[in-house]
Each structure stands twice: as structure tokens, then as C-alpha cells.
């Protein structure tokens, strides 16, 4: 047991050191890679812009937002996305409300995609999804991001990876795999991204599905499940 405890302590100290040393743990552009891709859904949930492309022939833009299924109604149903733009000093310089439709829902897990109706505006800052085989290390630092309590401001809570577990949740058939992070969330965080720094940039490693504001635990849909759904849902988009 002592070697195991020693190894865990080494991992914890290394994670803490990397998190505190400037230029190592925070080389990514937090504003462009996390804040600006994070949006608010219908004032009660969160989401992340994962794709925004312009068609070469028609010139129309298609923008997709990743969120959780329990924050959406039926496929095709209308809604709206609230988004904010900030300058380098974190001063809010623009606020937009864009109508949207539910593009699709994942039958295997708590995930959904929303498509914006705005076909003119191209969003340059979209979140990068981590590779499907990425697995966070024990105590690896993450940022759990969203719009809790209907606040008109992105809130990020620092946490670390704890474990992967299976259990039944929100009426889904059978047990599903979730990753557990020791971060605080509140109502409105559902659908927001969970980010880790990989190769010098912030990448989306999961989506907040459930959490508790009293006990600091967040349940996230794992990276491999996110990739599995996005690859199929947006194939050819």
C-alpha cells in the first residue's frame, strides 16, 4: 500500500505544480478556447460551440452547440442561445440572442446538439474536442464551465478528475459511464463544457450532466462518448 500511496501523492503534487506554474499549466488562451465558445441556453442551461463552418457554394454558415439531452425538448423544437463577447480585459462588449432548433439527441447518453438559425455569422472561436482516447489522469486539473443560476456571465470552477463510474441516471436505460470531478456546479451548469489543458491548449474533455452545489462533485459525459456522438451526428456537416 505504501508504494501506491506514494505514487498517488506524486501525481497530486505534480498536478498541483503544473497548475500553479505560469506558462506550463495555463499556456492555452482561456478567453478564446473556453469563454467565447460557451453559451447560455434558454436562460436555464449551458452549451459549447463545437463547429461553425461556411458553405463554399451557398455562403451559408452552420453553427452547432453541444449540450445535454435533458436541457432540450424534442428534435426540431425551437429555442434560443444567449452569447456574450468579451475584450481582453474581460469587459463585456457584445450580447446576442440567436434563435435555434434542437438538431439531434443521443439515444445512448445525456447529450444533444443544437443548431443556430443564424446562417450569416461565422464563429471563429469554437471549442476543440479532445481525442476519443483521452483519459484524464488522477487529480488532473480541469475547468468546469457554464452559466449557473441564470447569470449573464461565464463561471468557471477549478476541479480535478476523481474517478470513472457507472450508474443509472435521468431515466436512461441501464447504467451509463460518467466521469467524476471535484468541482462545484449549480442549476444552469448542465450542458456546459469540462476542459483540460492538452498540448498547450484548452480542450473539451466532457460535458456536465449533473452535479451538486453542496458537495463539490460534477458528473461529466466522458470524452469518448462525446466523440462517438459528435462524429456520427455531424458527419459531413
Q: Tens digits of per-residue pLDDT, 8-38?
A: 333 333 333 333 333 334 456 988 999 999 9
- Residues with Cβ within 8 Å of 21's Cβ and at least 6 positions away in sequence, in order, are none
Q: Contacts by 51-60 with C-beta closer than 8 Å and gap 24+?
A: 51/126, 51/234, 51/237, 52/122, 52/123, 52/124, 52/126, 53/122, 53/237, 54/122, 60/119, 60/120
Residue 227: pLDDT band with limits 50, 70, 90: very high
Query: DSSP 3-state assignment of 37?
Result: coil
Q: What are the structural domains, with CATH classification, of the chain?
A: 2-31+128-229 (2.40.10.10), 35-126 (2.40.10.10)
Which cell numbers hold the place of 195? Answer: 476542459
What confidence score (pLDDT) does residue 2 get?
31
- Residue percentage of the chain with pLDDT more than 70: 80
For residue range 110-167, list pLDDT tens digits in order: 999 999 999 999 999 999 999 999 999 988 999 999 998 767 677 888 888 888 888 6
- Residues with Cβ within 8 Å of 210's Cβ and at least 6 positions away in sequence, in order, are 169, 170, 178, 190, 218, 219
pTM: 0.84
Q: How far is the C-alpha of 76 from the C-alpha of 66, rounded, in Å?
A: 15
- Percent of the chain as helix, strand, coil, to the nearest 5: 20, 40, 40
Amino acid at each position: 500500500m505504501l508504494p501506491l500511496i506514494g505514487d498517488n501523492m506524486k501525481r497530486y503534487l505534480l498536478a498541483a505544480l503544473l497548475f500553479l506554474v505560469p506558462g506550463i499549466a495555463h499556456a492555452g488562451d482561456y478567453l478564446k478556447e473556453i469563454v467565447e465558445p460557451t453559451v447560455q441556453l434558454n436562460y436555464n442551461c449551458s452549451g459549447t460551440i463545437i463547429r461553425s463552418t461556411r458553405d463554399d457554394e451557398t455562403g451559408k454558415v452552420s453553427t452547432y452547440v453541444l449540450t445535454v439531452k435533458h436541457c432540450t425538448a424534442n428534435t426540431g423544437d425551437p429555442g434560443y442561445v444567449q452569447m456574450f463577447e468579451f475584450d481582453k480585459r474581460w469587459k463585456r462588449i457584445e450580447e446576442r440572442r440567436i434563435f435555434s432548433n434542437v438538431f439531434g439527441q443521443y439515444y445512448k447518453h445525456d447529450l444533444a446538439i443544437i443548431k443556430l438559425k443564424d446562417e450569416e455569422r461565422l464563429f471563429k472561436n469554437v471549442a476543440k474536442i479532445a481525442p476519443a482516447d483521452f483519459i484524464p489522469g488522477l487529480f488532473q486539473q480541469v475547468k468546469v464551465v457554464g452559466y449557473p443560476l441564470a447569470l449573464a456571465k461565464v463561471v468557471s470552477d477549478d476541479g480535478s478528475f476523481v474517478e470513472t463510474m457507472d450508474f443509472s441516471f435521468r431515466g436512461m436505460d441501464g447504467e451509463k459511464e460518467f466521469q467524476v470531478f471535484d468541482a462545484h456546479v449549480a442549476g444552469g451548469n448542465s450542458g456546459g463544457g469540462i476542459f483540460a489543458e492538452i498540448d498547450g491548449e484548452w480542450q473539451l474533455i466532457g460535458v456536465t450532466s449533473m452535479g451538486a452545489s453542496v458537495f463539490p462533485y460534477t458528473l461529466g459525459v466522458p470524452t469518448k462518448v462525446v466523440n462517438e456522438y459528435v462524429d456520427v451526428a455531424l458527419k459531413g456537416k
